[in-house]
Amino acid sequence: MAKSTRRRQLETAALYPLDWVEERTGLVGGVKFFLFRRVPRDINWMQTLGSATLTAFLVQAITGVVLAMYYKPDPDKAYASIDYITNDVTLGWLVRGMHKWGASVFIILMFFHMARTFLFGAYKYPREINWVIGVLLLVMGMAEGFTGYLLPWDQTAYWATVVGINLNATAPFAGPFLAQFLQGGAAIGPDALSKFYSFHMLVIPGGIMALIGLHMYLVIRLGVTSPPWSKVEAGRARPEAEASGTREGLIPDPAQGEGH
């Protein structure tokens, strides 16, 4: 049944802004490339654990930003500000609860995601680098947990951090230096709290976001793996990158000799 002219006109008018943006940015094509990827036919729910982990991280990022509006990283005020967030600020109990419990969810999902990758053999060629990036993300996630635990500045937080820093100090050679850097001197003091706060909300999340970007780039480039029992070929057809071919133009190819 052919659409009426009027209806087609309306549709064109409604979609015009999208065309306008696409013509100037190519963003629509980019989003299509990003979202509408070919995946193996027999993919299963286990392969959504990565997206679930990403979602958990986004929840931590958003709730963390909001909590930072009310939290005060000062030894005299930190606990009081947590108390204020939990008991006085409207919906503070909810957002703090999401951040606190979401932290555990994030770590647990990372482990499930890692287990899926390991058991499906999805860490093998050509995805080794993505496994390494994933391990770095796990380490940085743990560092988020360690630095965030101090911030409530109660007895649990303080003594857990004492033990955590002293654990670091037992590492050979670098240990004592690391401990002294973390506690900002001879013992945990005011500098330690603001240092942990800075690491918790600026340094480590920045690193995590950068690594997630790389992680996603490689997932999109290399495609999603089939389950091990699959008979279907995995991934999209990749550009044929010779091991030494595509570096031409970035650095001289030694095989071509000098002056190329």
Partner 1 sequence: MSHDPDDNPHVPAPSLWPIGFAIGLACILVGLVVSWPAVVVGAVLAIAFGVLWIRDVARSHAPVETHAEEGLSPTGEPGAELGAAEGEHLETYGRAGFLTLATIGVGGVIGAGVTLPSLGFAVLPSFSGKAADPTTEVDLGPLENFPEGQYVIANFLEDPALGEVSRRTAYVRYNGLAQNGEPSFTTVFSRCVHLGCPVQPNGPTFEDKVVKYKDVTLTPVQPAGFGCPCHGGAYDTEGNRTAGPPVRSLDRYEFSIVNGNVVLGKLFSVGTVEGTGAGAKISRYRRAYPGVHVDGPEKWLYPIPVPGS
- Is position 135 an interface residue for partner 1 (rule: CB under 8 A)? no
- Is position 228 an interface residue for partner 1 (rule: CB under 8 A)? no
- Is position 230 an interface residue for partner 1 (rule: CB under 8 A)? no
* Closest-CA residue to 197 (of 80, 64, 53): 64
Amino acid at 102: G
- Find all residues with CB under 8 Å of 14, minimum gap 6, and list them: none
- As measured in angstroms, the least distance from the Cβ of 121 to partner 1 is 12
**SS3 state at 159:** helix
- Is position 61 an interface residue for partner 1 (rule: CB under 8 A)? no
Q: What secondary structure letter does DSSP report for 82?
A: H
- Is position 250 an interface residue for partner 1 (rule: CB under 8 A)? no
Q: Specify the residue, 8 or 247, whose C-beta has the smaller distance to partner 1.
A: 247
- Is position 76 an interface residue for partner 1 (rule: CB under 8 A)? yes
Whether the CB-CB separation of 232 and 44 falls below 8 Å is answered with no
Q: Specify the residue, 142 or 167, whose C-beta has the smaller distance to partner 1.
A: 167
Q: Specify the residue, 86 or 180, whose C-beta has the smaller distance to partner 1.
A: 180
- Is position 38 an interface residue for partner 1 (rule: CB under 8 A)? no
Residues within window 181-220 making contact with partner 1, judged by CB under 8 A: 181, 183-191
- Is position 259 an interface residue for partner 1 (rule: CB under 8 A)? yes
* Closest-CA residue to 147 (of 103, 112, 108, 177): 103
Whether the CB-CB separation of 79 and 154 falls below 8 Å is answered with yes
- Is position 180 an interface residue for partner 1 (rule: CB under 8 A)? yes
- Is position 125 an interface residue for partner 1 (rule: CB under 8 A)? yes
- Is position 260 an interface residue for partner 1 (rule: CB under 8 A)? yes
**SS3 state at 15:** helix
Q: Specify the residue, 2 or 255, whose C-beta has the smaller distance to partner 1.
A: 255
Structural tokens at position 115: 């287990």
- Is position 166 an interface residue for partner 1 (rule: CB under 8 A)? yes
Whole-number Å distance between alpha carbons of 108 and 52: 11
- As measured in angstroms, the least distance from the Cβ of 169 to partner 1 is 4
Going from the C-alpha of 44 to that of each of 40, 49, 218, 227, the distances in angstroms are 9, 10, 20, 8
Structural tokens at position 176: 């004592």
Residue ranges that bind partner 1, judged by CB under 8 A: 75-76, 125-126, 158-159, 162-163, 165-167, 169-170, 172-173, 175-177, 179-181, 183-191, 234, 237-238, 240-241, 243-245, 254-256, 258-260
